[in-house]
Amino acid sequence: MHSFRHLIMFSALALFGPPLAAESQIFTSQEANFRLETVAESLEHPWSLAFLPDGSMLVTERAGRLRVIRNGELSPKPVAGLPASAVTGQGGLFDVVLHPGFEKNRILFLSYAHRTSEGMTTRVARANFDKDRLENVTVIFEALPRSGTSRHFGARMAFDASGYLYISVGDRGDKDRAQDTEDDAGGVHRITDSGEAAPGNPGLDDPGINNTLFTWGNRNIQGMSVHPITGDIWTHEHGPRGGDEINVLRAGTNYGWPEITYGIGYSGLPITLDTEKDGMAQPLHYWDPSIAPSGMAFYTGLEFPEWQGNLFVGALKMQKLVRLKLKDRGVTEEEDLLVKLAERIRDVRTGPDGALWLLTDSPQGKVYRVVPAQ
């Protein structure tokens, strides 16, 4: 793991200015002053953000809409041609990810909850984005079996440097499914851009493992990011009461849920007495109590040189942005930001403009741009 020797310590959050309008507040710390710019608002539970080559952006709304932000303005009409999402419970439209060759092929990928008479599941569709419309929409992944629950869909996605797509699928509220390698729930799947199992997947040589599975023992991953130096896929996942985890994905690795956890059940009773077992990976970092993490990004921009290489994680329950300083694949410093903003942070991205971008999870959700205060 690369050692971030040139990072500067960033701590002691303080807040100045009026308590209502985020844009009028200056957020300060030992090494940086920053503020928030509202780029778009009145979005219904925005879930994911993607930056297009022409400078515009795509934003998903969990209610089943894909929106375009162009020239700093939210287009009033949603993108047409989307597949139908099952908007119930935690379900709906989730992630949007561009194909690595998007500038030429205009291909993107959407994850969403889908329902039939057999129940609900996590699906991924591939489509061409053309003039604010989706064409050639094709389902390339569907987690099976379906179930009647409307929670723990996972649904975060990311491409690695080889062009393979990683898709998280939650345990769907049935914890034992995460240890069943013939069940698609409770793990991360790795596929080609057309939906085939990616070469090197552990199940290709083992009939007891579904061939798209890359890892298992994952409860509900809602943060996924590519390390800017190593190319590793990093994830975070929700624990129950405590035990939210950050992990680095390794093929064929069991991350332990529910056999090991640093959390307890919602009833207050233990899920297990074990926090480690042979053959099960330990988290790189965990939270207890739970912060309900969602969205995650390594900061790679130039607007804040002191943040270079830091990892930013949104928090829903605790309504904050967490900054983690890393060294040798470990967390050396943790700081809570935006705690007085009182917003559920759903997604975090580093933009091509060098700013940090945030989505807030509410019926009147916002797109925020984090910029230097000066």
- Report the pLDDT value the prediction gives residue 30, as an integer from 0 to 100: 66
Q: Mean pLDDT, consecutive 10-residue segments, the chain of 374 residues?
A: 33 31 78 92 98 98 98 96 98 98 98 98 98 97 98 98 98 98 98 98 98 98 97 98 98 98 96 98 97 98 95 98 91 95 97 97 98 90
Contacts 24+ apart (CB under 8 A), 99-106: 99/159, 99/193, 100/159, 100/163, 102/52, 102/53, 102/129, 103/53, 106/130
Q: 45, 99, 152, 236: which one is catalytic?
A: 152
> Six-digit token pair at 191?
């596929």
- Angstrom distance (rounded) from CA 186 to CA 341: 33
The verdict on whether 152 is a catalytic residue reads yes
Count of other CB atoms within 10 angstroms of residue 6: 9
The domain ranges of the chain are: 14-372
- Report the pLDDT value the prediction gives residue 12, as an integer from 0 to 100: 27
- Report the pLDDT value the prediction gives residue 6, as an integer from 0 to 100: 33
- Angstrom distance (rounded) from CA 255 to CA 275: 11
- Report the pLDDT value the prediction gives residue 360, as an integer from 0 to 100: 98
Query: Per CATH, is 14-372 categorized as 3.40.630.30?
Result: no
End-to-end CA distance of the chain: 34
Q: Is the dihedral of CA 219, 172, 161, 300 positive or negative?
A: negative
- Angstrom distance (rounded) from CA 326 to CA 218: 23
Report yes or no: 85 and 139 within 8 Å, Cβ to Cβ: no
Amino acid, single-letter form, for residue 21:
A
Report yes or no: 59 and 51 within 8 Å, Cβ to Cβ: no
**Residue 105: DSSP 8-state:** H
- Angstrom distance (rounded) from CA 252 to CA 159: 18
- Angstrom distance (rounded) from CA 257 to CA 220: 10
- Angstrom distance (rounded) from CA 313 to CA 305: 18
